[in-house]
Amino acid sequence: LMFAAGVWGGLVQPGGSLKLSCAASGSIFSITVMGWYRQAPGNQRDLVAAIVSGGSPTYAESVKGRFTISRDNAGNTLYLEMNSLQPEDTAVYYCHAGGVRSTPRDYGRNYWGKGTQVTVSS
């Protein structure tokens, strides 16, 4: 499996928007869940949003109503639309894939993207 960020983060003004994406490729039979995590300096890596295959998205309370996660199941591509960004959203954002199986008989594995910096500042 390979993870690649299709859209990188960057510097965004408060109130601005940014869309992140990542894609999984390689020998993939199925991916149970994909999500976005973020980690600010000195903090733990926290779940931002996740979406289970065939299910509804879940969001951290801090981003509810502002962020939208979506998943292209066929292409194994994950998106995070971030709106009304605030300085407290500043962090390194990581794409995650869980329950990844290369074959139907394989057990699920976890994969992390390298992360991309999102900075919200005037």
What are the pLDDT digits (tens) for 15-53?
999 999 988 888 888 888 999 999 999 999 999 999 988
CB-based contacts of 41: which residues, under 8 Å, 6+ apart?
Answer: none
* 87 DSSP 8-state letter: G
- The string of pLDDT tens digits covering residues 53-99 is 888 999 999 999 999 999 886 668 899 999 999 999 999 999 999 99
Rounded to an integer, what distance in angstroms lies between the CA atom of residue 9 and that of residue 30? 27
What is the predicted pLDDT for the residue at 24?
83
End-to-end CA distance of the chain: 38
Among residues 90, 105, 94, which one has the least CA distance to residue 20? 94
DSSP code for 89: G
Query: Going by C-beta distance under 8 Å and a sequence separation of 6 or more, which residues neighbour residue 108?
Result: 32, 98, 99, 100, 101
Q: Residue 17, SS3?
A: coil
Question: Residue 43 has what DSSP assignment?
Answer: S
Spatial CB neighbours of 33, under 8 Å, sequence gap ≥ 6: 50, 51, 52, 53, 97, 98, 99
